[in-house]
Structure formats: structure tokens, C-alpha cells
Structure 1
Amino acid sequence: MADQPTSGVPIELRKVTKAFPGGGEPAVRELDLDIPAGEIVVLLGPSGCGKTTTMRMINRLIEPTSGDILIGGQNSRGIDPDRLRRHIGYVIQQAGLFPHMTVAANIAQVPKMLGWDKQRIAERVDELLELVGLEPGTYRDTYPRRLSGGQQQRVGVARALAADPPVLLMDEPFGALDPISRERLQDELLRLQDDLAKTIVFVTHDVDEALKIGDHIAVMQRPGHIVQYARPAEILTNPANDYVEQFLGAGSSMRLLRLTKVGDIELDQVLYASEDADAQELRADIERDGRGYALITDGMRRPLRWIGRDHLEGREGPVGATGDAITGTISHRMTLQDALEELLNADTDNVPVVGRRQAYAGSLSLATVQNAIAAIKARERERRLRRVEAQ
């Protein structure tokens, strides 16, 4: 990828309505939605609730009957539809690759339309194949029919990213895959998003998928309106009404543990410093902190080493390469259940948590997870109590 890939932009839907001729009530009715830049927003709901129609109105594959859609602050009605679509990546179920074209030719479609030269296109194709985990030498000249379903979807994602668009639309992209391939591609998408920070609108009817990948979830109901828009943890612990609760299914603390993300809980904040920090000043900070150790990070705040008081005894000048190498990190997008497994296999009591572009966001310990579980149980009890009182 380029050193500075294009980051996502905000999307705003203002009183957007879509009524099809002879279709009775509108498919989408006066829908308001703010999609933050660089986040994955999931449109979740049953068939016929308007989620795919809503997504397709963003790139004007379907024109709104009324209302406005702003992309990066610009009204989409004022942008030529072809130009708009070339700057919005689009991924559909079963990839939608052209069967008579090689993988490279499929990925190159939009860059060719934009007038890129052959060398730049070839470099971009190889770059994207590596990004989605496909070896360019093996897959560049392969035809789609020779790929598995999961590999085709990876190519579909690469094609959508080819011109480095700020916005990515994904319409049930993993719905036709087997459970193992589906989970792997969900993980791959989250890994890519941490590096690329695109604005992603993702359509699904699968609750677990929405809870796993969404930064925010818009739960939709017929006819085309949003009944709750919130972060996954809030939707799980505080559903807006009976419809949301029934759509989510029976809740339990174990399900919350499996689907709550590390980034949704309060993390430990271990003292950290850069490699050029003064050794004796850091030793004094460690003494004051009371833990007896600190985390050393690079210039991008990525975790490198644990360092203790003993490492700094008698050392003058910058910390440099002193300390013990980090043996593993936990992604802020990892579920608490997966994080718990990582902690049980870790060499240290604390494991650094990394966020966007692998930057240090805090640390996790067994005690942190235990506190999170206790908080989840407390929220569950409060929710049940509110339901009883409401009856």
C-alpha cells in the first residue's frame, strides 16, 4: 500500500426515502444516519427491511426518492454517478468477478477506467493481492473458476480497494461461504481495517457477524427505518425495544463475553515510553508508578519491549534497545473470549492491546477480563430488572 492510504470520510443520510413505483409503502422511509469516518457501520435486519436499498442509494445504484446523502460533506446528487462509483469500493456476495478475466484483470478494472498507466496498475495489483493474503505469482494470472469461494471473495475485496477509495460498501459479502471461511474473512477484514481506516457500510442479516465486525450497528425494521443505532456492547446490554431483543435472540453473559470486543471495555493503562526516553527519568517514573515495569514503544507507539527497574540500573542516556521483547499483542477488535485464551497462553501477566495501525491502546490482564465479566453480569441483571418493572 501507499505510505499514506486514503482514509475514510463521513457519510450522512438526511431524511432519505425510497418509494418504488407500485410498491406500496416506501422501502426506506425518512431515514437519518450519521456514519463516522473510518468506521465499520453494519446495517442489520431481516429481508425486506431496506438495508440493501439504503446501501445502494449511497453510491446511486438506486436513486433516493427524497432526502440527501452527503459523502465527505458533499451531496451525492451533485456528483456524476460514474465518477462517484469509481471512488466507492463495492463488494457483493460471491464476489461478482468477471469469469473470462484473470484475477489481475478483474482487480485492474477501476484503475484502467481512471487512466492509470500499466506499470502503476501492475504494481497495485500485486500490492493488493499481498494485502488480502494471496501470493501474486500464484494468483495474478489465474481465472476465477480455479479459486475457492473464500479466495474469490478476497479478490473481490482487492478489486474494491484497487483505486484506494475512502468508502467501501459490502453487501452480505461472506453470506455464501462456509462457517470457517466466513470467520477467516471477517478476521481478515478487521485486520485490513485497522491498517486502512476506510469508511465501511456492511449489510448482513447475521447477528453474530454484525456484533463481531461493527463499530456501530444500525438495527433496521420494515418499512425501512432504524430502531436502534449504537455500539455492539450497548445493543447487547440495552436493546431499544422488544423487536431488537427478539432479533438478537436470547442473551447470556457467555454470549456477551464471546461478542464483546476488547476495545469496548476499560483497559489497564501501563506506563509507556519511547526508545529515546532518558533511562534514569524512566526508572524514576517506574518507581512512582508502583508496578515495577513499563512498556517501550516505537515512534508510531507500537509496543516493542517490557522494561523493568533492573534493566535501567546504572544506565545513562536513552533507553535504546534495553528490555525484553514483546512476545504477543491483543487486537482491540478481538473478543473477550479470544482475548482470555491469549492471556492464558501468554508469558506475562499483562499483554499490550493495540488499536489502529498497531498503536498501543492499553493492556489486558486476567483481572481486567474478570472485571469486565462482572460488569457484563451487572448490566444483564439491571436489564432483567427493568423488564420486570416494565411488566
Structure 2
Amino acid sequence: MADDITTGTQATADADDSGLHNATHGVEIQLRNLTKKYPGQSRAAVQDVTMTIPAGEIVALVGPSGCGKTTTMKLINRLIEPTSGEILIGGEDARKQPADQLRRHVGYVIQQGGLFPHMTIAENVALVPKMLKWAKPRITERVDEMLELVGLDPAQFRDRYPRQLSGGQQQRVGVARALAADPPVLLMDEPFGAVDPITRGRLQDELLHLQEELHKTIVFVTHDFDEAVKLGDRIAVLAEGSKIVQYAEPAEILARPANDFVRGFIGTGGAMKLLHVTRIADVELGAGVTAQAGDDAATVHTRLSEADEPWAVVLDANSRPVQWATVEDLAGKQGPVSDYGTPITTTISGRADLQAGLEALLGSDTDFVPVTRRRRYIGLVSLNTVQGAIQQLREQAKEHATVSAGEGGA
């Protein structure tokens, strides 16, 4: 039963401070000729599915209702038993393991978190570690760590019940529970379908932040192609019977859809959707002048003057951007540069897409926004950065349109 496994859904950007660099990374999943046929039905629900899900990637299964995408996902952890075929998780045959043991090492995420209403938040998060017979002090520590990870203060939320939380908060607890036993694999079944659009967007962003730190292998089921484009490292477009019509990176599907079925799923504005598949870290970023928090203010002022730059990005001991320091701030000053300037209030992950970068810039008080990878500074994004990338995408789209027209004429 589903109650035997971990259930959850989103997380926050503070993973770097949670000791999660020691977390278990994802493993490869291989499905070989996987089939599910129910008794009395002439047509298989899942027919001969073969695909490889790379370790540490998010693979989105997308398709119309009834195509078998959720069934395919549930076959992986044997919530539904396959009729035939192989499931290899990290090279191990999942069908040779006891089903309940398998599920305790595969996080499972559903709509509204799937929390047990009669259990406190702490009890929900602790469910699988208790099944694994962890020591009580270790469980208590892990519960607090997971709640902090998903942005919920343990002191405030530990003893509450699910009914006392908003939908978004329940989803956060859900992901805390899914991650509590540190599984290498997460299965996520339309986890954001039951929340409002604003909360949904935030939870999607938090999943990307979390994945940047943890590198889990995530199978994400959705009927929303835009969500698949935003989250997926790869997308599998499924037709009836879980037939894989196209399996590729989002940019390739948008630029070169395999057939009319895929084109119909993409919908209108495919070229503009390329903004969602171009990650900020993949475009040319500004370097800027950087300084360590303990650097001498006069020395940094000299560096800015020599570089003819108006300000520096001040980094803390972990290379995280924390402060702007302008030439004017530092003029005639002595002591550490961190004593001067203004805090940096907006940063953006390099994993975020160009659309998110544009929104961050429009909401910022500065012309540049620091870009981070695993919360460490890697450069600056500006409107010029985004405009240049958009122009390049337009040129690529024109080239693709010309090639497609030529193929049609042939």
C-alpha cells in the first residue's frame, strides 16, 4: 500500500547550510520491456516500455489523461506489480527485492502531500526512519533538519497536525517526509496540481533549488507540458499505453517535435517556451569585481577605480554574495569592506531559466542580479544578458523554421 512509503513534495534554497552535501545522490533507473496488463482488459495499460532515466536527473513523464504515465511511475516502486519486464534501480533488480523494503528507499510524492491526518508533522516526517529502526535521537535530529530544509521552523510546526497547515505547507512537509530516509530516487505524481498558481510556481522553483544540492533521480509525472519544460532535464512524451513518442531534452523537443502528436502537446508559442529551457548558467554572464568580506576597503576601492567599475560584489567565507559595495561607499574608508555598502537582497540560481532571470531583474532595485550555483557566486545576469540570449534563440528558431519548411517542400 502507498502508506508503506515516503510521501512528500517541495523544498527550499537553504540546502547548502543543512549538511546535505553528504546526502545520497541519485542512481540510474532502467526500464526494460516493462508491461502492465490488467485481467479482463484486451489492451495493456503499459506496453513494452524501455527507457533509461539517468542518475541525478529530473525526468518528466507527460501525456494526456489515461496514457499510463502514473501507472508507469508506480511500476518503478511496485505500488503496481508489473506483468512482465525488468526494473533496475542503481543496477539492482527491483523485482527481486521485497516490495515494502524497496519502497522505504524510494521517496514518493503525491498531491496535497499525502500526510496522515492523525499524526503530527514530526510523526509524519519520522515515519520511514522509524520503519528503518533508526535511534530516537537520530530521528529527532533528522526531523528538524528536514523541516528546516523545506523552510518550516521545527519549533513552530513540529507538533502541528496537517489540517493546521496550508496546502503549500503540507506539500513542503511531504517532501520532508520523502527525503527523511535519504533515498536516491523520488517519484512525484502531479504533486503541484492541487495548489494555486503562485504557490505552484514557488514550489517548482524550490524543487529546482533542492535538486541543485541533492542530485536525486526524480521521475515527475505531469499533464502540464510547461511544467515539464521548466523542471525536466529530459521529457518523455507518452501516448496511449505509455508508448514513448519522444524522449529528449526539453530544448530538442521544442525545436524538433517528433510528430503532430508532440506538436499538439507543445501548443502555441513553442519558440517562446525556449526561454524556459535555457538556463542562466548556460549563457555568458558578467564577471563583475568581487571581494571577500574581510578585504580592506581601501584596497577594494583601488581595484574598482582601476577596473573602472562602479561597484563590487562582496562574498562571504562560503563564496555567497552578501553585499554591494560601490566606489562611493568605499571612498576614504578603512577596515573590512563588509562594514560598508548595502545587502544583496536578490540572487538567482544558475539552474533557473531565462524567464525567471528576467522576472528577477524586473523586481530588483539593481541592474544586475548575482547568479549562484549551489548558492556560490558564479557571475551576474543583466537585461543585456537576457536580451542577447533571446536574440540567439530567435535566430535558432528562424533556422529551424527554414529547415522545416524545406523538409515540407521536399
Count of aligned residue pairs for this structure pair: 388
1:240-255 aligned within 5 A = 240-255=258-273
| CA displacement 1:256-301 (0-9 Å, x = unmatched) | 43x234347422262787859999xx99999999989886656655
The alignment status of 1:35 with 2:92, answered yes or no, reads no
The alignment status of 1:126 with 2:149, answered yes or no, reads no
* Structure 2 segments unaligned to the other structure (5+ residues): 1-17
The alignment status of 1:215 with 2:208, answered yes or no, reads no
Distance verdict in 2 for CA 1:278–1:146, change over 3 Å:
closer
| CA displacement 1:215-269 (0-9 Å, x = unmatched) | 2211112221222222223322222222111111012544443x23434742226
Where 1:223 maps in the other structure, the secondary structure is helix
Q: Is the CA contact 2:293–2:316 (under 8 Å) kept in the aligned structure 1?
A: no
1:204-353 aligned within 5 A = 204-257=222-275, 259-263=276-280, 265-268=282-285, 270=287, 275=292, 300-303=318-321, 327=344, 328-344=346-362, 346=364, 349-353=367-371
Report the alpha carbon displacement of residue 160 of structure 1 after superposing the two structures with TM.
0.9
**What code does the residue aligned with 2:109 have?**
V
In 2, Cα distance between the equivalents of 1:297 and 1:42?
36
Q: Which shows bigger deviation, 261-270 or 180-189? A: 261-270
Counterpart in the other structure of 1:382: 399
In 2, Cα distance between the equivalents of 1:231 and 1:167?
20
- Given candidates 21, 33, 36, the residue that maps to 1:19 is 36
Distance verdict in 2 for CA 1:168–1:286, change over 3 Å:
same
Distance verdict in 2 for CA 1:18–1:130, change over 3 Å:
same
- Given candidates 110, 116, 131, the residue that maps to 1:98 is 116
Q: Is the CA contact 1:10–1:34 (under 8 Å) kept in the aligned structure 2?
A: no
RMSD: 3.6
In 2, Cα distance between the equivalents of 1:52 and 1:66?
17
TM-score, normalised to structure 2, is 0.80
**What code does the residue aligned with 1:19 have?**
K
1:144-159 aligned within 5 A = 144-159=162-177
Counterpart in the other structure of 2:381: 364
Q: Which shows bigger deviation, 174-183 or 109-118? A: 174-183
In 2, Cα distance between the equivalents of 1:246 and 1:168?
29
Report the alpha carbon displacement of residue 7 of structure 1 after superposing the two structures with TM.
3.2
Counterpart in the other structure of 2:390: 373
1:44-123 aligned within 5 A = 44-123=62-141
Where 2:34 maps in the other structure, the secondary structure is strand
Q: Is the CA contact 1:27–1:224 (under 8 Å) kept in the aligned structure 2?
A: yes
**What code does the residue aligned with 2:169 have?**
Q
Report the alpha carbon displacement of residue 204 of structure 1 after superposing the two structures with TM.
0.5
**What code does the residue aligned with 2:384 have?**
A
Distance verdict in 2 for CA 1:26–1:128, change over 3 Å:
same
Q: Is the CA contact 1:108–1:162 (under 8 Å) kept in the aligned structure 2?
A: yes
Where 1:4 maps in the other structure, the secondary structure is helix
In 1, Cα distance between the equivalents of 2:135 and 2:34?
41
**What code does the residue aligned with 1:97 have?**
L
Distance verdict in 2 for CA 1:292–1:49, change over 3 Å:
same
* Structure 1 segments unaligned to the other structure (5+ residues): 314-318
Q: Which shows bigger deviation, 61-70 or 261-270? A: 261-270
Q: Is the CA contact 1:172–1:204 (under 8 Å) kept in the aligned structure 2?
A: yes
Counterpart in the other structure of 1:6: 23
Where 2:182 maps in the other structure, the secondary structure is coil
In 2, Cα distance between the equivalents of 1:71 and 1:287?
56
**What code does the residue aligned with 1:33 have?**
M
Distance verdict in 2 for CA 1:385–1:22, change over 3 Å:
farther
Q: Is the CA contact 1:41–1:201 (under 8 Å) kept in the aligned structure 2?
A: yes
In 2, Cα distance between the equivalents of 1:185 and 1:235?
24
